[in-house]
Structure 1
């Protein structure tokens, strides 16, 4: 069970009833529930449950696999999915039928709809003058504002719909107008939002969540609207930096940086999460929701399950990865890591400081068991699923042991015996293919969960280190320095909490970008950064597309069908 249970995530049925053949003596209606602050919090669950749903899967894919940060190729046909198109995300050749563009649009529309419903129902309860009612309604509006920001960032011109039950077609609102509406709505909530942090508000939107959202908007305002807002970005960052004179938020020290993202994380184990999404693999804690938080399923090489205590990481019947384990059976069971995802060498190159604790989020090169012994793999020298399918020696089918070795390059091979097929984004099905690419374990496999592949790791949306880097970047782009802080001092403050290497003596926009790559890896902000720094049209991996129209995704076909007033984005 997660260390903190926030909401009652049951069906939101205030005012609903159904004939069941027996007399109903009580029912939850807006007249009787909620009637106090705690009941308002409990009734606010559905928008948060909806937000939690697809953030760490579909949204992560859209924001990350479309950059040089990560790649998810097919390996022997595994993970080749033309309907969703991991390859399309990499190549930037997606279209309005792409599965991820559809699922993210639907997810964000669901968050917005669930919030509109909650606001509509809760707005009819209790007198409007009650401070806790104002605070809780403002909190929910910030959840809706986050969803609108994500949708605006992904899709550009989007429909605005804030009225529950209004099903009339909505036209695309120009992105600059969405920006202005969002800014106004966020600012309108500030007087009513809680200034509490820590356990009390963990996983809930407080005043500093609103300021963090404004800071993101202002930092990207020139791209979104054509007008730079860097001084406003600095002001929003300062509102967080000033919070409780540093009592509310602070940089996590180098000694516990990696643990900040572990499955045991939460409000008592870190000081940086301004707004985080709590995940729990247990359906008891979050009834009716899945959460889709299983990074390790994609990130771990498939032979690493036993080492990392991954659910299913015990001997079973799929492969035989570990030599000398005192277990019956011949390999990992079907819920082992499936291992398709890795980074690209161009991104890993940012991690060149050997004294930087952030290097510890990567698995590279030769792998070892927890006791320091080599992690050995049992296979054959050749064959379609052996070590090297192109091997033609007479002992190709003989038993072969090798120490697991993750290699940096991700490349297509020309020998068809390996199963590689560039047309299908396929690297091959032998061990050479499966071991291509360095793997990220920032959100460490959940060794606390013995039953399934969902993880207990809470995922930050807004984090204090990000705020400091945003302020530094805004100053470097022309904002007026404040509080005696310079762009250089802010970046050096982050670096001092991450590396024992000497402080920097100078700073450029490129060095800020590089630092953001190191600090914010795997946290869904890299696409946002690449666009702002003018790097999204570059070439990496197998991608050569340079069409600036692809800075935003197409409006999905399903959305166009449901709302005929929408128009497709340029270039699609």
Structure 2
């Protein structure tokens, strides 16, 4: 059975993306033409959108795509990325080593930021809801607040549900927080439950395409994430609801996988380097600096180097002299590296391998060898090899390939322009695939969606799947999107041993309540088990 998607680029889509017909072999049995445009709404969020929502949605940038909060705690704790200590660089009191080795405690800075960022966002939402909003704006802010509570519940389990400015509340159980998130999202969608035949006509959310705001499809994407992890959160699986929420988005929305013919100009193209591609196509285009109109992105955190800062992957991962490769305004910090085993798990002809990683000898703006005059191995040419000698204290300065999924641009500042997807269609495919496979106890049920993504990556289809091979496929598709810790926990792998990490304490699946918050709570917050 086949579902044929055709992208017709209209209005602002013509500015950023070049599109041609895109075919995906999927499980559904109908063929339809759909148009993707912004329906006259600014991507920055006209009001469905607008001024009343600027403050709560701006809070989404904090910790989402930088070396703090949500990204740090959900990435460095996984089996794909580490922050190596290079002499005196990146020790930072041991916080990165603790995240990697799962020895973090209640005074950990990044854990405290995860808590503070989410509650700051909730505070902005509560303030906004106390003002005069129309029905659509109210629904968006409630959905955004539910998403912030999802981050808190996923990270800490038992938190306070605060719904008005300046209020306090008792500490709720993880089940109670789950129920609150679910009820808020169902209410703004105008339904009492997610079903296979749900009708969203009564929703105060609309279906307009505005990547920085929440429409019906974005709210369903959040619900799908919630239900996919329900067994972890509550002990009760909700696979069918996860499947139905994802399926509604796939069957009814205009979003499309960005594949052949879906392209943007490569803003990192160096004029004198012939090997630099002129355009980025398919998977690579989804995460480019000019990805604001990408047809795969359902909801994203907006980043811009001039007025919406906070994404600094270029600083986090690149070696200092890489400033000379792209003409960056300052030297990068040379911290985050990709683990060798994870990098080597990619097939060589997987297009995501090239898109996700920066590997091999590096060159400057003119294509000449890039040198590190403080090299620790006698070879001045910077060469990002997969091998890393140690986590600490003296990791090689150019050891490990580097994160490149959110690709770079010439002459960019510390802050990048790439928008950070929170809900995107590729992930929705994987949610449907996993939920269906688990519901029917047959991982081969996931093959159509997995193979659609493999086809986009230039790979042959798989003939069969297991839980382990599905997790591997998910890891390759979702690298650098803050999902690895969550996925490892759901698959029962978080206590496994990997490079420089042996801790197997199941209490570490939930972060400690920050001690500073407990101290300030007058006894209304208690610590999680094991801390």
Superposition TM-score tier, normalisation by shorter sequence:
0.7 to 0.9
Quote the residue 1:305 is aligned against: 323
Q: Report the alpha carbon displacement of residue 343 of structure 1 after superposing the two structures with TM.
A: 0.8
Return the match for 1:87 from 97, 104, 126.
97
- Taking a change above 3 Å as real, the CA distance of residues 456 and 40 of structure 1, as seen in their structure-2 partners, is closer
Q: Report the alpha carbon displacement of residue 403 of structure 1 after superposing the two structures with TM.
A: 3.2
- Aligned to 1:276, the other structure's residue is in SS state strand
Counterpart CA distance in 2 for 1:486 and 1:442 is: 28
Matched, 1:411 2:389: yes
Unaligned runs of 5+ in 1: 8-36, 124-132, 313-334, 380-384, 389-399, 413-421
For 1:387-398, what aligned pairs fall within 5 Å after superposition? 387-388=376-377
- Per-residue CA deviations over 1:57-83 (Å, capped at 9, x if unaligned) read 22111000011121112212111111x
Quote the residue 1:194 is aligned against: 205
Matched, 1:163 2:189: no
Q: Report the alpha carbon displacement of residue 367 of structure 1 after superposing the two structures with TM.
A: 2.9
Asked whether the equivalents of residues 351 and 359 of structure 1 are also in contact (C-alpha less than 8 Å), the reply is: no
Counterpart CA distance in 2 for 1:85 and 1:517 is: 24
Counterpart CA distance in 1 for 2:302 and 2:124 is: 18
Q: Report the alpha carbon displacement of residue 470 of structure 1 after superposing the two structures with TM.
A: 1.1
- Per-residue CA deviations over 1:5-42 (Å, capped at 9, x if unaligned) read 736xxxxxxxxxxxxxxxxxxxxxxxxxxxxx949731
- Per-residue CA deviations over 1:487-544 (Å, capped at 9, x if unaligned) read 2111111111111x32111121212111111100000011110101111111122111
The TM-score, its normalising length taken from structure 2, stands at 0.81
For 1:146-185, what aligned pairs fall within 5 Å after superposition? 146-167=147-168, 170-185=169-184
Return the match for 2:351 from 337, 340, 356.
356
Quote the residue 1:138 is aligned against: 139
Quote the residue 2:217 is aligned against: 208
Quote the residue 1:14 is aligned against: none
- Per-residue CA deviations over 1:306-340 (Å, capped at 9, x if unaligned) read 2233x22xxxxxxxxxxxxxxxxxxxxxx211111
Matched, 1:256 2:217: no
Counterpart CA distance in 2 for 1:223 and 1:444 is: 33
Unaligned runs of 5+ in 2: 1-14, 17-41, 191-202, 261-280
Matched, 1:377 2:386: no
Q: Report the alpha carbon displacement of residue 558 of structure 1 after superposing the two structures with TM.
A: 1.6
Counterpart CA distance in 2 for 1:444 and 1:490 is: 26
Counterpart CA distance in 2 for 1:77 and 1:441 is: 25
- Aligned to 2:299, the other structure's residue is in SS state strand
Counterpart CA distance in 2 for 1:251 and 1:161 is: 37
- Aligned to 2:78, the other structure's residue is in SS state coil
The TM-score, its normalising length taken from structure 1, stands at 0.76
Bigger radius of gyration: 1
Quote the residue 1:18 is aligned against: none
- Of residues 464-473 and 297-306 in structure 1, the stretch that sits farther from structure 2 once superposed is 297-306
Matched, 1:102 2:140: no
Return the match for 2:428 from 455, 463, 467.
467
Matched, 1:271 2:295: yes
- Per-residue CA deviations over 1:231-275 (Å, capped at 9, x if unaligned) read 11111011101224xxx11111053321221111112xx211111
- Of residues 553-562 and 543-552 in structure 1, the stretch that sits farther from structure 2 once superposed is 553-562
Asked whether the equivalents of residues 48 and 136 of structure 2 are also in contact (C-alpha less than 8 Å), the reply is: no
Q: Report the alpha carbon displacement of residue 171 of structure 1 after superposing the two structures with TM.
A: 2.6
Counterpart CA distance in 1 for 2:350 and 2:423 is: 26
Return the match for 1:492 from 444, 451, 454.
451
Counterpart CA distance in 2 for 1:443 and 1:155 is: 28
Q: Report the alpha carbon displacement of residue 370 of structure 1 after superposing the two structures with TM.
A: 6.5
Asked whether the equivalents of residues 296 and 445 of structure 1 are also in contact (C-alpha less than 8 Å), the reply is: yes
Aligned residues: 456
Counterpart CA distance in 2 for 1:519 and 1:533 is: 16
Quote the residue 1:25 is aligned against: none
Asked whether the equivalents of residues 41 and 136 of structure 1 are also in contact (C-alpha less than 8 Å), the reply is: no
Counterpart CA distance in 2 for 1:305 and 1:476 is: 46
Quote the residue 1:446 is aligned against: 409
Counterpart CA distance in 1 for 2:207 and 2:129 is: 22
Counterpart CA distance in 1 for 2:258 and 2:358 is: 22
Quote the residue 2:332 is aligned against: 337
Counterpart CA distance in 2 for 1:156 and 1:378 is: 45
Return the match for 2:519 from 553, 561, 569.
561
- Of residues 456-465 and 172-181 in structure 1, the stretch that sits farther from structure 2 once superposed is 172-181
- Taking a change above 3 Å as real, the CA distance of residues 165 and 494 of structure 1, as seen in their structure-2 partners, is same
Asked whether the equivalents of residues 257 and 426 of structure 2 are also in contact (C-alpha less than 8 Å), the reply is: yes
Quote the residue 1:69 is aligned against: 80
Quote the residue 1:116 is aligned against: 126
Cα-Cα RMSD: 2.3
- Per-residue CA deviations over 1:332-353 (Å, capped at 9, x if unaligned) read xxx2111111011121122124
